[in-house]
Amino acid sequence: METKLIEFKTEFGNILRGIFVDVKSKRGVICLHGFERNATAEPKFKFLSDALAEKGISSFRFDYTGTGISDGDFSKLSIETMTQDLERAIDIFKKELGIKEFALVSHSLSGCVIGNYLSLGKNLPYKIVLLAPALNQKDLLRYYFVVSNIKDRNITWNNYQDFLDENAFLKDSKRKNKVAKAHYIGKDYFLENLERDYSNFFTGFDNVLLIYGDKDVKVPLESLNFDFSNKIIVKDGDHDLEKPDSIKQWLSKVVDFLVKF
């Protein structure tokens, strides 16, 4: 096994970076991180890469533009730009790193990226794993707006619509340079996803495994409008699905799923 830092350039000239765990296989897995996260260093992706290597499968954990160890401007993020990054990563994975068949493992917002990628209908993965996918962007954005603006009430997925001011939400979506956890983010992402639910893009694609924590309040399981038949519900699992007790419940099952062709 050999671990390498891979650098590659996007069509916009940004340098993206990722960790390639090379076991000289023709099959590989690309790991995709969530909003303001990174795939290169998050424990869940490191554990997965190590476990896959033991089974003879290579992996590539790269960070999107403006996140982790990659260059670029995070404020210009959108599902479309992330999809373009993924397309470039797949191209590198196959043409330069020698992978013939690939699978995708995503966390949170990257589930939308995979859905958007599937809609292109080219270079399809042999399997997909969705960790806590934030597919229903239309409703989730409104949920987050209410949660962030009403601090004196117990806002839940079941009651947030009672407190939603739609006009105020739409006005806020057009605001420039909002501050996320550690970055400015422009309006493109919000305007892009005002009416989008990426669940529909998975219709007809059977080789999908859903992993969800039953205590996920960031992206509640109830937000999904699509019934994935192949799923694992992690007891006491939160949105990150990274606590030791959570990892124990899903890691080996995900590896087994990815090993079987």
**Span 146-202, pLDDT tens digits:** 999 999 999 999 999 999 999 999 999 999 888 888 898 999 999 999 999 999 999
Query: Residue 140, Cα to own-chain centre: how many angstroms?
Result: 15
- CATH code: domain of residue 69: 3.40.50.1820
* pTM metric for this prediction: 0.97
> Does the residue 254 lie in any domain?
yes
Answer whether residue 178 is part of any domain. no
Residue 187 covered by a domain: no
How many Cβ atoms sit within 10 Å of the Cβ of residue 15? 13
pLDDT tens-digit profile of 96-129?
A: 889 999 999 999 999 999 999 999 998 999 999 9
Angle at CA of residue 115, ends 112 and 121, nearest 5° = 150
The reply to whether 154 falls in a domain is no
Angular region, 132: left φ>0, alpha ψ -120 to 50, beta rest: left
Classify residue 180: in a domain, yes or no.
no
Residue 207: give the domain boundaries.
2-136+197-259
pLDDT interval class at 130 (50, 70, 90) = very high
> Does the residue 155 lie in any domain?
no
Contact between 219 and 134 (Cβ < 8 Å)? yes
> Is 182 among the domain residues?
no
In a domain, 152, yes or no: no
Quick check: 261 pLDDT over 80? no
**Domain total for the chain?**
1
